[in-house]
């Protein structure tokens, strides 16, 4: 288990296309001692924190001082898996690049940069009381547990159907890091009509057709789609600023409910402890 605050050991850079904006975006990652992960855009600092989250349509967007950065969830998941608690990310566009649709390339960049450890603690948030949020038939809840244990259920039309997966060794769940985002083929036109998914392609997303997966090489894993929903959840939960310890159960959850869960946890200091 990670016991101390950390940052990257050296500067590194990543560039790519934004999934929704379609724009080329450049990221520069810098070591940072102060607690937390934050973006810098146009000289303005945007903490990657749950209380900075605004738009949650198809991604997680944070904003501050009139500046906003979208689609941070895969990058935040990579920080979680890399054990990085503190980092400053300079970004020259409105959205974190989608890369291959997973968190894998971000994770590789962090792994190559290495990890530098500080003496400060304050890394974990331990859930002390059950907390649940819901919307229609979607819900996510967390109960006290001395580790992070996630069970995710999704339910889409065939060929996806209902999928359920439990991950107990979350910190070493590499199939989760490498699972790509996905979309139903019939939803693409409507998404693009509202100005989103301009940079989407078969190179950075799994497209679910009426009878089969449209990507030439199919899925990376049999449960890649539910894996990716777990990846999104981990990235969203890491906007808490801490590695959450608790038993998380989720059904059809998305960015909105994931963020709402954090707001509910932090609404009462008796819900958690930090160490």
Whether 135 is a known active-site residue: answer no
Q: Closest by alpha carbon to 201, among 103, 97, 121?
A: 97
Question: Quick check: bond before 159 cis, omega within 30?
Answer: yes
Model confidence at 171, pLDDT cuts 50, 70, 90, reads: confident
Pairing of strands 131-135, 138-143: antiparallel
Mean pLDDT along residues 13-26: 95
Q: What is the pLDDT of residue 196?
A: 82
With a pLDDT cut of 90, the percent of the chain lying above it is: 93
- Per DSSP (E only), the strands in 42-92 are 44-47, 62-64, 67-69, 86-91
Q: Does the domain formed by 6-117 have CATH 3.40.50.300?
A: no
Report pLDDT digits (tens) over 136-168: 999 999 999 999 999 999 999 999 999 999 999
Confidence of residue 88 (pLDDT cuts 50, 70, 90): very high
Pairwise CA distance, residues 74 & 87, whole Å? 15
For the chain, percent of residues with pLDDT exceeding 70: 100
Give the per-residue pLDDT at 151: 98
Residue 215 carries which DSSP code? S
Domain boundaries, the chain: 6-117, 124-274
147 by Cβ neighbours in 10 Å (0-12 / 13-18 / 19+) ranks as: middle
pTM, two decimals, is 0.96
Mean pLDDT of 186-211: 92
Cβ neighbors of 222 (< 8 A, separation 6 or more) are none
Distance between CA 212 and CA 158 in Å, rounded? 8
Catalytic residue among 20, 74, 228, 255: 255
- Across the range 231-246, mean pLDDT stands at 98
The yes/no answer on whether domain 124-274 falls in CATH 1.10.10.10 is no
Q: Is the pLDDT at 1 greater than 80, yes or no?
A: no
Above 80 in pLDDT, residue 3?
yes
End-to-end CA distance of the chain: 13
Q: How far is CA 119 from the centre of its chain?
A: 27
pLDDT digits (tens, 9 = 90+) for 32-87: 999 899 999 999 999 999 999 999 998 999 999 999 999 999 999 999 999 999 99
Name the average pLDDT for the chain: 96
The reported pLDDT for the residue numbered 195 is: 86
Q: What is the pLDDT of residue 169?
A: 92
């Amino acid at each position: 288990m990670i016991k101390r605050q950390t940052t990257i050991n050296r500067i590194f850079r990543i560039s790519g296309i934004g999934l929704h904006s379609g724009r080329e975006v450049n990221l520069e990652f810098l070591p940072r001692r102060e607690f937390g992960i934050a973006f810098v855009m146009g000289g303005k600092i945007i903490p990657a924190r749950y209380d900075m989250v605004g738009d949650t349509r198809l991604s997680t967007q944070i904003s501050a001082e009139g500046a906003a950065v979208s689609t941070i969830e895969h990058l935040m998941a990579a920080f979680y898996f890399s054990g990085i608690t503190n980092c400053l990310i300079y970004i020259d566009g409105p959205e974190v690049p989608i890369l291959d649709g997973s968190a894998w390339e971000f994770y590789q960049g962090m792994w190559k940069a290495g990890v530098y450890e500080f003496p400060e603690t304050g890394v974990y948030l331990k859930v002390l009381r059950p907390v649940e949020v819901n919307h229609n038939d979607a819900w996510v809840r967390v109960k006290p547990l001395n580790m992070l244990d996630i069970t995710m259920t999704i339910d889409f039309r065939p060929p996806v159907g209902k999928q359920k997966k439990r991950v107990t060794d979350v910190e070493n769940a590499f199939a989760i890091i490498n699972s790509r985002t996905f979309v139903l083929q019939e939803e693409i036109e409507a998404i693009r009509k509202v100005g989103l998914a301009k940079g989407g392609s078969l190179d950075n997303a799994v497209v679910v057709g009426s009878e089969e997966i449209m990507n030439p090489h199919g899925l990376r894993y049999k449960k890649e789609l539910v894996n990716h929903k777990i990846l999104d959840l981990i990235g969203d939960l890491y906007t808490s600023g801490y590695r959450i310890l608790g038993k998380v159960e989720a059904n059809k959850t998305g960015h909105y409910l994931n963020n709402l869960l954090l707001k509910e946890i932090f609404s009462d200091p008796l819900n958690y402890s930090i160490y």
